[in-house]
Every structure is written in structure tokens, then in C-alpha cells.
Amino acid sequence: MSYIEGFVAAVPRANKEAYRQHAAEALPYFKKLGATRMVENWGDDVPDGKVTDFKRSVKARADEDVIFSWLEYPDKATRDSANNAMMNDPVMKVAGKTMPFDGQRMIWGGFAPINDSGTAEKPGYVDGCVIPVPAANLDAYREMADKQAAILKQYGATRTVDAWGDDVPEGVVTDYRGAVQATQDEKVVYSWVEWPSKEARDSGWKKAMEDPRMKDAKLPFDGKRMIYGGFKTILDA
């Protein structure tokens, strides 16, 4: 079973190319440690929310955009080994001081996929979500995710992934649980939908929301605290 390391961060808009280059230079290192895929996505359609949203999750400033990115590993053991190696590598400590964004406000965590449907092709656009779900509703959430995946793929999505919070640490400044105001009995879900392009995404969601199967869906979580947005893929390797 694969394993996901998911990240959300605020990056100065002026540093977009520097951020992309920073990620590209880090790619060989992550692959050496066992990562099978690295995807970086830049905020494009990230709305303000009434209760929670992506911008608040990382305390984004007016001149910053939100990135939604992830690393895929073949399993948790490989991910844990990679993280341990990075924590003890002096090269990474130096790299941490040259990041083109404020790493203290980055949120990250490990997630175990409970739904991975479709083909991991090169997306042009990604819908990203972070969701608080009662732990007791795991099966209900998985059932909902499976049904939604089938609908979205019918209307143009190439892949949908829902990953259940497994190693989601508390942060000093920001973290996933704070991002969605998760309660003690809730888990955090890191989820995304891959699309060929923004146009395909806009058209696909329009058709999906008009589909009776989508309208009949009942959410096994508090939708008011879900954070979501659309992101343009800037690196996929």
C-alpha cells in the first residue's frame, strides 16, 4: 500500500520560480530515499472561507500564494526511513535555511490512502482538500469517496485520492488539525483530484454537480470546516 507525505505552505508570489527550482533540485534527493512521485501545485482558485480556508491554514499574507504538494512512497516504512535520513542529514539542515518561503508556517503529515482511483498521469490542474472526519465514520467516508471518484472520472478527472491521517504532528505555529479545527474524535483527510487542465476541471465539476448522484450524497463530516481550492501543477516527476 502506498503512503503519502502531504504539504501545504505559503510562498511569496515573487518567489514562484525560485520555489519551483528549489523543488526540482530536491527531487533527486527524495527519489534516492525512495519516493516514487513528487507533485507541486501552485494556488490558483483558492477561495476565502467563512470558518476555515487554505490561506488561514498557513497564515498566508497578502503577497503570498498557497502551495499544495505531496510525495508518494511505496509504503510507510520507506517514508519513515526517508524522514529519519533527512532529520540526520546535515545537507538538509543547510537546505532548510535557504528555502524561498517560511518553513515554520508549512504544515505536513503522513497519510494512508483509503481511496486511490484512476491513473497517475501528468495533471495540469489539481483540486486539493483537507477535511476533518470523525474517526468512527471511516467506512462511510470511504464509501462516499468511492462514489464521488466514479462520478468525477466519468466527467474528465484522471485520478482521485483520499488519504487518512496517520502521522499528523502538532505544530508550534500551524498544523493540519488546526487548519480544519479538528476535534479529538476526528481524523484529518488529505485529498485531491487530478485533471488534465483547468478547463477540464471547470467543465467536469459543472457536470458532476448537476448529476443526481452527487446531489444525493450525504457528507459524513462537517463540510463547513473543509478547506479546498484549485491549484496549477508546476512540477510533477
Q: What are the tens digits of pLDDT across the range 174-211? A: 999 999 999 999 999 999 999 999 999 999 999 999 99
The residue whose grid cell reads 519551483 is: 20
Please give the residue range of the domain that contains residue 132: 3-236
Instruction: Say whether pTM exceeds 0.85.
Output: yes
Could you list the beta-strand ranges (E) of the chain.
3-12, 37-45, 64-73, 107-118, 125-134, 159-167, 186-195, 227-236
Compute CA distances 69 → 32, 38, 86, 146, whole Å: 19, 8, 18, 22
Number of domain units in the chain? 1
Residue 175 confidence (pLDDT): 98
Distance CA 26, CA 35 (A): 11
* CATH number of the CATH domain containing 178: 3.30.70.100
Residue 232 confidence (pLDDT): 98
Residue 212 confidence (pLDDT): 93
Mean pLDDT, the chain, whole residue set: 96
Tell me the pLDDT band of 218, cut-offs 50, 70 and 90: confident
